[in-house]
Chain A
């Protein structure tokens, strides 16, 4: 169960998406997320879906893994869709119930919402599937480096993020190990009321904290030994924008232009 978490998971590959500069990928992802909320009719929505599918195909990440990233939000999507269908009024009324009406506006809003959320999650997971966590944090550091003027310790924050990402799998393994060890001593984690269940977590959380602290101290010592914190830190891999990055940028610009044109040309689908 705990192993289903896909955040920060990298899928090893060598597609064009994998080779794009991480900074460009972050900027493009943000641009896409913003453009999602521009779509006003089914034409622009369709373009967005096509773009998303095309991205998945280009990335060569197996469909199974993409679906896995959607799985955790499935409930949210269904729930918001239902709320939208039942509570949004306007447009043609399809069902005239006693307490709830179902209207075309409600159904359209639900459809738009669901498609937007799914596309958003798929595209963001494309970013993490095709970029290693290290590259991702390096890119974030570079993108945020202008903030250094305001004395914000960008490099330190980026290092903290790298370390946090690095230790997620380790912690998950550790939780599994400790849970098994306590189960072997008869710890009962599955039964009992709410309070009892919370109490049953103590034998797992305490050793987890102890070993995490120990690990953090060891890591800090190891970093000290290698002179972390010295001035003028440089990178082994320099990031460089290439032709393909500008090509990707051009495609994104074209895509956003397409959405705006389709919106303007066909008008909004929701009737006020």
Chain B
């Protein structure tokens, strides 16, 4: 049974006004437990709109969202449960921080779940550890942190709810390469340690290639493709047609393959290095 599925979902913005627009439609997707799904697509293709349906922030115009076997709009209780089962971290989440200390801010979600003090404390410590926030920062005001630290504190606030599905909407937007790698590394190890399902919205096909197991491609308000990284990235022609660029290394590898070199394929620099080295018989 898939942990998360959408059946015939569509959403309209500004319904009933002249500016009414179809943000997504005809969405049918099943996501299995434990996957790390990268969601890519050009600007305005409906990625953010789609993920906001999974925890019931947006209500679909038609169709169903099923989390862990229950339709999240079947009852008020089901909707509220979906909020905790599916943790959604918005684009630029640092602007949601509000408490006096980072510790209190991270504990906001668990508190809303009605957990005991000890449980909350345990979860906050664990979440801070996952995102790599040092203990000394927990007693600071969230407004005194650096941009990257704020981002991590905000993500910790969602992780502390220990959702079965974690959704991150462009968690690396606006960070420097090192901050980006840290966040990606954190997402990867979080999934490995907890076994939860993760959905990662991203503009960078390199980032997705680095950590995802599956890829979902959005185009013009619809799901264009869904499959493993290898399946999707090998269709570079189609990807280019809808305005997405496969990573530079994969382009090089394609050219090498065309010129008759039996080298396989690679989508990240690390993987490429491995392949090239193995060509010469050496190992990394």
A residues in contact (CB < 8 Å) with B: 177-178, 180-188, 202-204, 206-207, 210-211
Residue from B52, B143, B157 in contact with A185 in the complex, judged by beta carbons closer than 8 Å: B157
Residue from B87, B89, B98, B157 in contact with A207 in the complex, judged by beta carbons closer than 8 Å: B98
Does B200 have its Cβ within 8 Å of any Cβ on chain A? no
A4 to chain B, nearest CB (A): 11
Q: How large is the interface on B (under 10, 10 to 19, 20 to 34, 35 or more residues)?
A: 20 to 34
The contact sample of 17 A-B pairs, CB cut-off 8 A, is: A177-B90, A178-B95, A180-B57, A181-B90, A183-B57, A184-B57, A184-B88, A185-B96, A185-B109, A186-B80, A203-B98, A204-B98, A206-B98, A206-B99, A207-B96, A207-B97, A210-B95
Are B84 and A181 neighbours in the complex by a CB distance under 8 Å? no
Are B90 and A180 neighbours in the complex by a CB distance under 8 Å? yes
CB neighbours of A202 from chain B (8 A): 98
B99 to chain A, nearest CB (A): 8
Are B143 and A184 neighbours in the complex by a CB distance under 8 Å? no
Q: Is the interface of B mostly helix, strand, loop or mixed?
A: helix
CA distance A244 to B209 in the complex (A): 65
Residue from A185, A187, A207 in contact with B95 in the complex, judged by beta carbons closer than 8 Å: A207
Are A186 and B112 neighbours in the complex by a CB distance under 8 Å? yes
Residue from B89, B95, B161 in contact with A186 in the complex, judged by beta carbons closer than 8 Å: B161
Closest CB pairs A-B (n = 10): A186-B112, A206-B98, A181-B96, A185-B109, A184-B88, A203-B98, A181-B90, A207-B98, A180-B57, A186-B83
CA distance A187 to B110 in the complex (A): 10
Given contacts A177-B90, A203-B108, A184 and B55 within 8 Å (CB-CB): yes
**Which B residues, 233 to 276, have Cβ-Cβ distances below 8 Å to chain A?**
none
> Which residue on B lies nearest to A207, using beta carbons?
B98
CA distance A182 to B158 in the complex (A): 10
**Which B residues, 136 to 163, have Cβ-Cβ distances below 8 Å to chain A?**
143, 157-158, 161
Given contacts A177-B90, A180-B52, A180-B57, A185 and B98 within 8 Å (CB-CB): no
CB neighbours of A187 from chain B (8 A): 108, 112
Are B90 and A211 neighbours in the complex by a CB distance under 8 Å? no
Are B97 and A186 neighbours in the complex by a CB distance under 8 Å? no
Are B98 and A188 neighbours in the complex by a CB distance under 8 Å? no
Residue from B83, B98, B113 in contact with A184 in the complex, judged by beta carbons closer than 8 Å: B83
> Which residue on B lies nearest to A206, using beta carbons?
B98
CA distance A184 to B90 in the complex (A): 9
A106 to chain B, nearest CB (A): 38
Are A181 and B52 neighbours in the complex by a CB distance under 8 Å? no
Does B93 have its Cβ within 8 Å of any Cβ on chain A? yes
B161 to chain A, nearest CB (A): 7
CA distance A14 to B199 in the complex (A): 48
Are A181 and B83 neighbours in the complex by a CB distance under 8 Å? no
